[in-house]
Structures are given as structure tokens and as C-alpha cells.
Amino acid sequence: MTIPTSPLERSPTTSRRERLRDSYLLYSFLRDPIAQLSLLVFIVLVAAAVLAPWLAPMNPYDLAQIDILASELPPLWIDGSDPAYLMGTDAQGRDLLSTILYGARVSLIIGFGAVAMQAALGVCFGLLAGYLGGRVDAFLMRLADIQLSFSTLMVAIVVGALFKAIFGGATYSAYAVPLLVLIIGLAEWPQYARTVRASVLAEKGKEYVDAARVMGLSSRRIMFRHILPNTLSPIFVISTVQVANAIISEAALSFLGLGMPETQPSLGSLIKSGFDYIQSGSWWITLIPGLVLVVLVLVINLLGDWLRDVLNPRLYKG
């Protein structure tokens, strides 16, 4: 038997890096200035947040560094500012730039943490519901319906208020970040579960899944090794949108006083703490963190939008 010559021009030993170079993802990225700008801004914001302890002029968590006499100083470009405080100070005398950097850190941790939690729950439930079908499917999807009928904020307010009432404010402050991750994560998993289930139903009918079953592979291996990698595109797209949503949820909760305590400010709680002083002319305490929040959420959403266009199989099949 003769081996048919391959009509393919690409060498068979392409590395991952070469695959990326040839991919449609990179091609489309290099031709989309909005995506490039969004990614750049996003990377700058994330880097600034991650490097906050080294970048920030002072540590807003360190009470010894806070000077209450320097409170409500305006930003540098307004009369009466102190050159030590680039963006002015808040009502407690904390340097606003440092507080925003640390606050963005908290917001991003909660955003990504909550999305990781949602994704873990949603992907598992979606895979189980889609692959096993029948009663498991009906049960999990009704559970998702019930979960979706409560709004995220309502669940968060009830759980947060209960936790605060039972364990007290001090315990709440200590566990605020994991608690918010848990609440936002638990409230939004059905988004993932539904999308993953829909993709699994589409993939399940394909013959490679039958081939894996005929081989004798376990259901778990078929679900995670064969089906899951083929449902990643929609998961990526939802994840970007969900990170933005989680950050907004956290900000909204903090604004209501049920999120991060003022001693560990997130962007949301900064906006809230500044809101009380907006009438007295100290608008920067609210406006600057507000702008950072808007820009952060906007670039994530723009990136998600671009990713959705690229990964949409109707526009491009790969």
C-alpha cells in the first residue's frame, strides 16, 4: 500500500507558538485597534493593581501612614493641593492614588475569584446536565432556574446582612473578600451551566463522543477530556462578561454598605465613602475611582465583545 502524499504545506511539527502565530485569533487581533487598546489599558490596570504595594506612594491599610490633617486635599491640578498627593486624599487623609491602586486590586481579586467559582460550579453542573440528561438534567436546570429567579444583589444583601448580624462587623471585615467571592460566585453559576449544557448537547451527538464510549472511557473522562475542550469558546466569552459583571456587583454591594469595609477599600466602597462628601465639594473622592471602575469594566466588555466576534462559529469556523 502506498502512503498518499499529504497536500498540506505546513510542517507536521508545528509548535504551539507557531500555531498561535498562524491563528485567526492573532490575525483578527492585529487588525482591531479597539481590541488592542482595550487589552493595553486592561494590562496596565491589572499590572498597576497587582504591583500596588510597590507602586503606591503609601499603604492605605497602614494607619501609621495616614494623616487625618491631610484629609480632603484636592488633586494636584487644583489650587490648595499638596504635591505629595497626586490625586488628592479622601476624607480619612488616605492618598487617593494609593487607595485606588489597592482598591482596584480588591475589585479584581473579587471579580476573578467570583468568576472562577461560577465557572467551576457552572461547568461541572452544565457538563453533568448535558451529558447525563434525564433526571439529573431536569434537576440541575430547575435549580438554575430557581437561582436565576433571585437577583444577585438580593442574595448578596440577605447573606451579607445575615453574616454581619450573626458574626459581627469585625469577623465580617476579616472574611469580606472570600465571602463576596462566594456570594457572587454562587449567585451567577447558572449562566455558565446553561451555556455549557447547550454546547454539550451539541457535542454529545457527534461521533467522536460515541467513539470514546465504544473505547470504554469513563463518563468523567469523556466529559472533561473530550467534550469540555470543545466547549471552551463560549466559556471564554462568558467569562469576560462575567468578570465585568462581578466587579460591578461587588461595587454595587460596597456602595450599599454590604461589600468591602472602608478599612479595606475596593473601588465600590471608595465611591461610596466619597459620595458623602460630594456635596461639600470634594468630588474627586467619588469621581476618580468611579472613572477607574468605568474604564476597567468597559475594556473588559470590549475585549469580551471582540472575543465573541472572533470565536463565533457563524463568522469564522475553526
Partner 1 sequence: MSSTTTSAAPETAGPLLSLRGLEKRFSLSGDFLEQLKFKGGKLVREQQYVHAINGVDLDIQRGEALCVVGESGCGKSTVARTVMGLITPSGGEIHYDGERIDDRTTKALMPYRRRMQMIFQNPYASLNPRMTIQQTLEEPIRLHHPEWSPQRVKDQVAEVMASVGIAPDWGARYGHEFSGGQRQRIAIARALAVDPEFIVADEPISALDVSIQAQVLNLLMEAQRERHLTYLFITHDLAVVEHFGTRVAVMYLGRVCEVAPTATLFATPRHPYTQALMSAIPRLEDERPQHLRLAGEVPTPVDLPSGCVFHGRCPHADARCRSEVPALIATDEGGRVACHGVEEGRIG
Residues that bind partner 1 (CB under 8 A): 1-4, 6-8, 10, 12-14, 138, 206-208, 210-218, 226, 229-230, 318
Which residue type occupies 300?
I
Length of the chain: 318
- For the bound state, the minimum distance from the C-beta of residue 35 to partner 1, rounded and expressed in Å, comes to 24
Residue among 234 and 261 whose Cβ is closer to partner 1: 234
Residue among 148 and 232 whose Cβ is closer to partner 1: 232
Residue among 169 and 213 whose Cβ is closer to partner 1: 213
In the chain, alpha helices (H): 16-22, 24-30, 33-50, 52-55, 96-132, 134-149, 152-174, 176-204, 207-215, 219-221, 232-255, 267-275, 284-311
In this structure, are residues 293 and 273 in contact, taking their beta carbons and an 8 Å threshold?
Answer: no
Residue among 4 and 80 whose Cβ is closer to partner 1: 4
- For the bound state, the minimum distance from the C-beta of residue 220 to partner 1, rounded and expressed in Å, comes to 12
- For the bound state, the minimum distance from the C-beta of residue 198 to partner 1, rounded and expressed in Å, comes to 18
In this structure, are residues 190 and 242 in contact, taking their beta carbons and an 8 Å threshold?
Answer: no
- For the bound state, the minimum distance from the C-beta of residue 132 to partner 1, rounded and expressed in Å, comes to 13
- For the bound state, the minimum distance from the C-beta of residue 211 to partner 1, rounded and expressed in Å, comes to 5
- Angle at which helices 96-132 and 232-255 pack, to 10 degrees? 130
- Integer Cα distance of 273 and 229 in angstroms: 44
- For the bound state, the minimum distance from the C-beta of residue 126 to partner 1, rounded and expressed in Å, comes to 18
- For the bound state, the minimum distance from the C-beta of residue 223 to partner 1, rounded and expressed in Å, comes to 13
Residue among 80 and 313 whose Cβ is closer to partner 1: 313
Q: Cα–Cα distances in Å, from 12 out to 16, 18, 289?
A: 12, 11, 51
Residue among 145 and 276 whose Cβ is closer to partner 1: 145
In this structure, are residues 66 and 94 in contact, taking their beta carbons and an 8 Å threshold?
Answer: yes
Among 246, 230, 232, 243, smallest CA distance to 302 is for 243
- For the bound state, the minimum distance from the C-beta of residue 309 to partner 1, rounded and expressed in Å, comes to 21
Among 248, 144, 134, smallest CA distance to 195 is for 144
Residue among 3 and 170 whose Cβ is closer to partner 1: 3
Residue among 33 and 318 whose Cβ is closer to partner 1: 318
Neighbours of 50 (CB within 10 A): 15
What end-to-end distance do the CA atoms of the chain give, in Å?
Answer: 32
